[in-house]
A and B are shown apart, each in its own frame.
Chain A
Amino acid sequence: MVYLDFEKPVVELEQKLEEFRKQAIARSLDLTNSIQTVQREIENRLEEIYSNLTPYQTVQVARHVMRPKVQDHVRFMTPDYIMLHGDRYFADDHAMWASVGSLDGRTVFIIGHNRGSNVKENIRGNFGMASPEGYRKAMRVMELADKFHAPVITLLDTPGAYPGIGAEERGQAEAIASNIRDMFGIKVPIVTVVIGEGGSGGALGIGVGDRVLMMKYAMYSVISPEGCASILFRDGTRFRETAQMLKLTAPDLKRLGLIDEVIDEPVGGAHRSPVEAMTFVKEAVKRNISELLEVKGPITDYRYNKYKNLPPKMD
């Protein structure tokens, strides 16, 4: 387990638990009671810590290296998936995942920021920072979904679109602008889930869903708290304050009316119980797809009206 700074109180307990387990095996002792006591204690401490997370601590959880990533959700939701590659113009951007598969019998297309779970994957996926060809691949696959009459699921997990020379030369702004606009023309339901870090335009570039769901400890923001601090305060170390001000947590965004649903996470976060967390996501996605398939009239009208009517209402 990779521990976050505020999880310190649990570290010792988990070491103790591990020690009990080893002894129980090594010396054939029955330590069931001690083990259960420690387990309860761990659960209580986690409950306590996680029900009082500060916004910046939420950001840390959202970025946790062991948190389920796009490919974990894809394998879990659509075990028979086929990966789809390339934008047909320039390259295959590994930072952008695209696949088709069946979600409990229903064909779905999944698109997501592929930030990876280890250093090798992180580098290959450019930490989930997509280039223009990634956004163009995403749009190509959404149009393919349209042809299949199959719903689209987009999974958001990126610090932002890649700010590099090649990305600018190949039209990063144009690629994202086109996606955000042309998603309004996709004639199948789109369910968007922020599973980790929802980083600004780079996230929204695949994020114009009919429903926007957020995992409980995910974040969604117009700018990273660090970036915001260095611009507004000229002091990048004041990210705890800006994380607080940006209202980037799922419960805050739900309260503000900017997202549709908060998907619960197990005690201690998705990185502790990934299967349970991915089950919650899968069930929420399935329910939302079913609801969207019942929508009367063109889904594109539904989508436009959803965004048009976002708060605040202006006279």
Chain B
Amino acid sequence: MPEDNVQKCKGCNRPLDMPAFEANMRICPKCGSHEQVPVRERIKMTVDEGSFKELWGHLVSKDLIGFADSKPYADRITETIDKTGENDAIVTGDALIHGTKVAIGFMNFGFIGGSMGVVVGEKIMRLAEHALKEKVPMIIFAQSGGARMQESVFSLMQLARMSGAIYRFQEHGGLYISVICNPCTGGASASFAFQGDLIISEPGALIGFAGPRVIEQTIKQKLPPGFQTAEFLQEKGFLDKVVDRKNMRWMLGKVLSLYRGIPMEVI
């Protein structure tokens, strides 16, 4: 196999032994870098086996404003759906974690960089409303480059729509756990990712409002190493905990078990 086709670890740049790497939850066995996980794999490693029931999976984005960059946005959507087998940048549904029922969402970075447009907005809004109605905790795995430019102000307005639903859910006593994965910047950070009652993250994740390149261009200097990592954010007081991927399911189950029995306010 030519050198170029060998997948390398983004953490240490060493070639990855794929079967071993995949068996290790896509954590580099050499340096411990938490590499990105395809969305269906993430669901499998997070929820009780066979418990995930997808909701609103049929929702598909449309080109609302006649947008075209290197190709028309409408074509980009169709091609990405064909290529990835997913309809947009988030998968939402009901699941059990250690036997506790939760409403859960997983962002899909493989779909146009996990960008957030009307479908992501609609699904998170519905998920929060659903969690409120069902009186179950909500968990969202955030992983996103930000708002989807191709949907312009429609995507910006999703920040408000999702946040409104999350406000009502939390206001009635609902528990929302935000899990931030690498990377998470822009509109996702400036909305649901940082609205969790508990906010946890995977090690080494890049998390911020502005991306590092934008900051460097603005301040005209290099950023210090480790800036905007999960560990940095925990140190600055914006994350409850950095949790290894191998412990994530256990950690969620533990928090849920401690939360169980606290009734949500009846509405």
Q: Does A pair with B?
A: yes
Binding site for B on A (CB under 8 A): 161-165, 167-174, 176-178, 180-182, 184-185, 200-201, 204-205, 207-208, 220-223, 228, 231-233, 245-248, 253, 256, 258, 303-304, 307-308, 310-312, 314
Chain A residues within 8 Å of B17, by CB: none
Bound Cα distance A312, B119 (Å): 10
Q: Which residues of B contact A228 (CB under 8 A)?
A: 149
Given the interface pairs A310-B161, A314-B118, the reply to whether A222 lies near B190 with Cβ below 8 Å is no
Residue of A nearest to B192 (CB): A177
Known: A178-B195, A200-B147. A312 touches B62 (CB 8 A): yes
State whether A184 and B149 are in contact (beta carbons under 8 Å apart), knowing that A168-B209, A168-B227, A172-B209 are contacts in the complex: no
For B194, list chain A residues within 8 Å (CB): 171, 173-174, 177-178
Q: Are B153 and A221 in contact (CB under 8 A)?
A: yes
Given contacts A164-B218, A256-B64, contact A181 B163 (CB under 8 A): yes
Residue B187 CB within 8 A of the other chain: yes
The minimal Cβ–Cβ distance linking A142 to chain B, given in whole angstroms, is: 14
Interface residue count on the B side (C-beta < 8 Å): 57
Q: What sequence of 0s and 1s flags, for each residue 192-230 of chain B, a beta carbon within 8 Å of any chain A beta carbon?
A: 111100000000000111100011001100010001100
> Within the assembled complex, what's the spacing in Å between the Cα atoms of A310 and B122?
10
The minimal Cβ–Cβ distance linking B106 to chain A, given in whole angstroms, is: 19
CB of A258, distance to nearest CB on chain B (Å): 5
Interface SS of B by simple majority = helix
A208 surroundings in chain B (CB, below 8 A): 160, 163-164
- A168–B184 CA distance with the chains assembled, in angstroms: 13
A161: which B residues are within 8 A, CB to CB? 190, 209-210
Q: Does B182 sit at the interface, judged by CB under 8 A?
A: no
B108 beta carbon closer than 8 Å to chain A: no
Q: Is B68 an interface residue (CB 8 A)?
A: yes
Q: Is B155 an interface residue (CB 8 A)?
A: yes
Query: For A221, what are the chain B residues with a Cβ–Cβ distance below 8 Å?
Result: 152-153, 156
Query: Is there an interface contact between B163 and A245, defined as CB atoms closer than 8 Å?
Result: no
Q: A184-B164, A205-B190, A256-B65 are in contact. Are A163 and B154 (CB under 8 A)?
A: no
Q: Which residue of chain B lies nearest to A246 when distances are taken between CB atoms in the complex?
A: B152
4 cross-chain pairs, A with B, having the tightest CB-CB distances, nearest first: A163-B210, A173-B189, A177-B194, A172-B209
Q: For B157, what are the chain A residues with a Cβ–Cβ distance below 8 Å?
A: 258, 307, 310
A201 with B219, Cβ < 8 A, contacts A177-B193, A184-B164, A185-B171 known: no
Q: How many Å from the CB of B112 to the closest CB on chain A?
A: 12
Pair B238/A171 contact, Cβ less than 8 Å: yes
Residue B59 at the chain A interface, CB threshold 8 Å: yes
CA distance A223 to B156 in the complex (A): 9
Closest Cβ of chain A to B223, distance in Å, is 7
* A307→B210 contact, CB < 8 A: no
Contact between A304 and B152 (Cβ–Cβ < 8 Å)? no
B236 within 8 A of A: yes
Contacts of A314 in B (CB 8 A): 59, 118-119, 122
Which residues of B lie under 8 Å from residue A164 when comparing CB positions? Answer: 215, 218-219
Tell whether, in the assembled complex, residue A201 and residue B149 are in contact, meaning their CB atoms are under 8 Å apart. Answer: no
Question: Which residues of chain A come closer than 8 Å to B118, judged between CB atoms?
Answer: 312, 314
CA distance A253 to B153 in the complex (A): 8
> Given the interface contacts A163-B215, A185-B171, does A222 sit within 8 Å of B122 by beta carbon?
no
B139 at the A interface (CB under 8 A):
no
Is B153 a contact of A258 with CB atoms below 8 Å? Answer: yes
In the bound complex, do residue B223 and residue A173 qualify as a contact, i.e. CB atoms below 8 Å apart?
A: no
Residue B167 lies at the interface, judged by CB distance under 8 Å to chain A:
yes
B160 touches A171 (CB 8 A): no
Inside 8 A of B154's CB, which chain A residues have their CB?
256, 258, 311-312
Nearest chain B residue, comparing its CB with the CB of A180: B163
Other than the known A161-B190, A181-B164, A314-B118, what 20 A-B pairs have Cβ atoms closer than 8 Å? A163-B215, A168-B227, A169-B236, A170-B236, A173-B207, A173-B209, A177-B191, A177-B195, A181-B167, A181-B170, A181-B191, A184-B163, A201-B209, A222-B155, A245-B65, A258-B153, A258-B154, A307-B160, A307-B164, A312-B62
B2 contacts the other chain (CB 8 A): no
Q: Can you name the residue of chain B whose Cβ is closest to the Cβ of A208?
A: B160
For the complex, is B3 an interface residue (Cβ under 8 Å from A)?
A: no
Q: Can you list 6 A-B pairs with a CB-CB distance of less than 8 A?
A: A168-B209, A173-B209, A177-B189, A177-B193, A201-B187, A201-B190
